[in-house]
Amino acid sequence: MHPPNKTKYVALTGMLFALAIVLSVVESAITPMLGLTPGVKIGLSNIVVMYALFFMGPKQAFSLAVLKSLFVVITRGVVAGALSFTGGIVSLLVMWLLYRLFKNHITYFILSVCGALSHNVGQLIAASFILGSKLALTYAPILIVSGLIMGWVTSFSLGLLLPALGRMGFHDKKI
């Protein structure tokens, strides 16, 4: 997306950050009702970061991932913030690299699933570092399965939103 001026670009980034926070709060409210395994999340706010990566560019997506992590630090603590940051950055790097390598030959589904899986891997590595033990890696099978499912959910959700965003003028390819 190439906004006509920097003010609109900053405003859009602010609105996307607000949307990511709202989606995070909604997710926190509905996750217990879904009976998911502890640590497994849907990743609704990741839809916003994916949108930013695909249509605004990696710098804006990185900014949103950092802002989301700071929000997590404030609301859930430093450890949760560190896990959020590590997972978010690893996920962004993987999606960006895959998109750059395969351009028009890769789907949002593949990018989303790879992003979800790499997010979980990043969090497992960070958790192992924080715990000073590789014990956290025993949770990998659960997070791999959930990453596949939740990656599909975020991809599907983004696919539902793109037509509406396109009609509003927020759908130009960036990266």
Query: Would you tell me which CATH number, out of the four given (1.10.1760.20, 1.20.120.1760, 3.90.1300.10, 3.30.479.30), belongs to the domain 6-167?
Result: 1.10.1760.20
* Contact call for residues 38 and 139 (beta carbons, < 8 A): no
Considering only CA atoms, which of 39, 30, 29 is closest in space to residue 147? Answer: 39
Where do we find the tokens 């994916």? 50
Q: Give pLDDT tens digits for 145-166.
A: 999 999 999 889 888 888 877 7
Q: Give pLDDT tens digits for 88-134.
A: 999 999 999 999 999 888 888 999 999 999 999 999 999 999 999 88
Distance (Å, whole) CA 109 – CA 116 = 10
Instruction: Give the CA count within 13 Å in the CB-facing half-sphere of 37.
Output: 11
State the pTM of this model.
0.85
Considering only CA atoms, which of 97, 95, 98 is closest in space to residue 112? Answer: 95
Q: Give the angle 40-34-123 at the CA atoms, nearest 5°.
A: 5
